Amino acid sequence: MNLALKDIRHNLGRFILTSLGIGMLMMIVMGMVGIYRGMIEDATLLINRLGADLWVVQLNTRGPFAEVSRVPRSLVDRVAVLPGVESAHEFVYHTVQRDLRGKPLRMAVLGLSWPGDRGEWLPLAAGRPFGQAHYEMITDQSLGLEIGEKLKLGKEAYMVVGITQGMVSSSGDGMAFFTVEDAQAIQLDLPSEAIRLERAARLQRAEKTDIGYSQPVLLERALGPSSGIPALGPPVLSAVTATLSAAADPAAVASIISAWSDVSVFTQEEERQLVLKGTVERARKQIGLFTILLTVISAIIMALILYTLTLEKIHEIALLKLIGAPGRVILGMVLHEAFFLGAAGYGLAYFLGHWVFPKFPRRVALLHQDLLALAGIVFLISVLASLLGIWKAMRVNPNEVLSG
């Protein structure tokens, strides 16, 4: 006969409410750990999906995710001809925010290197990859756009041709995919008045130079588009990604690129660590601190609950001692009740979490090893929390039962 089970049946309502409170605390602890894991997945999602072996960025920067990086388009050709490089692609990445149906729409824009990259690697839940070089976009379902819907960005309207699932940035914003040219057009878009003022300023600068006097045709060129002026290069990229052949040595290729005086190069793992130690590190420490505090609070609450339950059973414990019940029976009653309370709280946290966490705005990733670790922590908390009740139970005088 298990005395703890008999006591629980006798006070079933109180046990259920207590387990629910413990379960809610455990669910918050579980959610904190899941949010941290989700942040790591979101931060490294794009790096893992692209699978690039090398990332070439602006010299002395940690771009393109940790900070702004600008490299010329010609860098793609320089990287592509290196021994061991199988392919090199442009990489354009930035964030935009617009209003859609009266609500703010924030998205991370990623440019795909058309025509080599049409988006076939994306996890499409609906639609198709790119079919043309311009005016098409693939968006994540978290942005709320539908197939065939058009969104005006800059001076052009882009039609949604594909919907991805789970493609978000490190900040939790849904991703939108364009070709590199369209992504740059969105990034560098200027109002018409700003363009007019820039052309007027170009003309004024040209008129003040000797070459402007000697070659008046250059003044007409200064009033034209920037793409028609040879001195002004094409829009810059955020980075260049390189995929190596199976036989290539990544360290050897990276050493060649690192000798160039205008760029820095990082391997896939180095780029991943830059993101984790830059954008996630501080959040990891903060979430870790909250998780520890909640765990300690849960242990304290369980200890106080078990101590209160033990105080309410002082008369019964005294009676057990008076009839000669061994100490291990009383100890087992308190300890088993602690285990039942911890197990019920953990079970409620697990099932409530699987129902609640998918509704969170950020990804909550519950890994199997984290759930096992949390179960071990709950077991340890149950043992520690029962010590106060056991201490009180062991000090009960059998004569107290005679005092009523």
What does pLDDT average to in each consecutive run of 10 residues of the chain (404 residues)?
A: 63 77 85 85 85 90 82 89 90 87 87 87 91 92 90 90 88 89 85 73 68 62 60 74 89 90 89 81 80 80 74 66 66 76 86 87 84 85 74 64 54
- CA 348, CA 380: separation in Å to the nearest integer? 18
C-alpha–C-alpha distance, residues 57 and 72, integer Å: 10
Amino acid 73: pLDDT: 86
pLDDT at 212: 59
Tell me what pLDDT residue 373 has. Answer: 85
Predicted structure pTM score: 0.75
pLDDT of amino acid 384: 76
- 235-to-226, 257, 266, 279 alpha-carbon distances in Å: 10, 22, 23, 27
Whether 65 and 274 have beta carbons less than 8 Å apart is answered as yes
CA dist 86 and 83 (Å) reads 8
For residue 5, the model assigns a pLDDT of: 66
